[in-house]
Structure 1
Amino acid sequence: MQNHINYVEFAAHDLAATEQFFSRTFGWQFQHYGPDYIAFSNSGLEGGFYRGELSASTISGSALVVIYSSQLELTLERVQQEGGSINKDIFSFPGGRRFHFIEPSGNELAVWSDS
């Protein structure tokens, strides 16, 4: 029997802005399933966004999805250029560095690098 995480879902109040942000920033691809759901792929872990008013945040106890980047500073700049906001600037931790950001629908994610 296999047991592993293979899909993650987020609420998003603005599906179009969220799709545009992740597509332009990280190159994710999207599939539309009606007006209230978009699935993403080409991200390392597949998932989706459903229309909803809530958002994921570590301050409220949500799990944190962390994206890998080999060019952390460039990725931080790209996040900001595409409409994301940085809520934790780059910091070091054992094994690498990372930053946290808020995407257009309010979900908090992080980006890390081992260099």
Structure 2
Amino acid sequence: MITTDFVHGSPCWLDIGAPDVPATARFYGSVFGWGFQSWGSDPEAGEYGALQLDGKGAAGVGPLTEEGARSAWMIYFRTDDADATAQAVERLGGTVRVPPSDADGWGRMAQLTDPQGGQFAVWQAGEKAQGGLEVADRPGALCWTELYTTDAAGAKAFYGGLFGWTTQDVPLPGDGGGTYSLITPADQPEERMHGGLLQLSAQDLSLTGGRAYWHPVFATADCDATIAKVTENGGSVQMGPEDAEGVGRLAVCLDPNGADFVVLKPSEM
């Protein structure tokens, strides 16, 4: 499960780059009940801000900053040393897209890419002790992270070397269903599992032109009602809704800008 008690290598924040920040904030507000708090002087200017659930930080939204980038969710993982992590990424065959930099005393961050093209970020909390997510693992909040990759073995080796993650393989249902790998932070018990990775062919990764990518899973109390809000507000459903034994009812959705995310009503919720 994802918690706000962060450890090295655990998800600690996520944000979305959008061509229209106010419109994107309104979409997710309609779907998940999030409010928007600008971290700048003019909330209509499109600058970075927080998406809040009951006044607590659930995610961030800001303008697209990388040339040619598609609108997409970016997942941040906690690190004890952003500079050392960036160096390790290059040593392990990945790429540093945005070098480590300070965020006004709140922390230090870097934007990175794994060897299969999966983009992610790291966050090192600063003197102001801004840890990241203030709410998780409840309806309307992040409850899981997932990597689609063309090379599961390579991804395990990369992230294992980078964060010390351990993985546990479980078979997917059905004939030829493949294998899903559950991810746990280093030296943590199974209840701290925070995500999974799945190997797919490049042809199945059409959103990124065949490159690996991370996406978030948000919990909901009613999957069907949530995807109705997605479509009513200009989004679409890419897959589902469907029931996954032992997991819950889920659907893969796209927001109006084509950014993908999953909504899940966990079986135990």
Aligned to 2:144: none
Larger RCO, structure (CA 8 Å, separation 6 or more): 1
Unaligned runs of 5+ in 1: none
Q: In structure 2, what is the Cα distance between the partners aligned to 1:92 and 1:71? A: 12
> For each residue in 1:21-71, what CA deviation from the matched residue of structure 2 results, as whole angstroms up to 9, or x when unmatched?
111121111111333212112188622112115223863322121111121
8 Å Cα contact 1:6/1:46 also seen in 2 = no
SS at match of 2:30: helix
Query: What is the identity percentage for the equivalent residue pairs of Structure 1 and Structure 2?
Result: 25
Q: What TM-score results when the alignment is normalised by the length of structure 1?
A: 0.83
Q: Cα 1:86–1:98, aligned 2, differ >3 Å: closer, same or farther?
A: same
- Residue of 10, 22, 33 corresponding to 2:16: 10
> Contact (CA 8 Å) 2:17, 2:71: kept in 1 or not?
yes
Pairing 1:48–2:79 present: no
1:37 maps to what in 2? Answer: 48
- Quick one: distance in 1 between partners of 2:62 and 2:256? 14
Separation of aligned partners in 2, 1:92 and 1:23 = 25
Q: CA RMSD in A?
A: 2.4
Q: Which position in structure 2 is the counterpart of 1:90?
A: 241
Relative to structure 2, which stretch is displaced further, 15-24 or 5-14?
5-14
Corresponding residue for residue 19 of structure 1? 25
**Equivalent residue number for residue 101 of structure 1:** 253
SS at match of 2:71: coil
- How many Å separate the matches in 1 of 2:35 and 2:213? 24
C-alpha contact (below 8 Å) 2:50/2:57 kept by paired residues: no
> Which deviates more from structure 2 when the two are superposed, residues 20-29 or residues 91-100?
91-100
Count of residue pairs brought into register by the alignment: 115
Distance (Å, rounded) in 2 between the aligned partners of 1:102 and 1:39: 20
Match of 2:221 among 49, 66, 70: 70
> Which runs of 4 or more aligned residues in structure 1 lie more than 6 Å from their structure 2 counterparts after TM superposition?
none
SS in 2 for 1:112: strand
Query: What amino acid is aligned across from residue 54 of structure 1 in structure 2?
Result: R
Instruction: Give the direction of change, closer, same or farther, for the CA distance of 1:6–1:41 in structure 2 (3 Å limit).
Output: farther
Task: Please state how far the C-alpha of 1:97 moved relative to its aligned partner.
Answer: 1.9
Q: Secondary structure at the match of 2:213?
A: coil
Amino acid across the alignment from 1:40: L
Question: TM-score if structure 2 supplies the norm length?
Answer: 0.39
1:113 shift after superposition: 1.2
Question: Could you say which residue in structure 1 is the equivalent of 2:110?
Answer: none
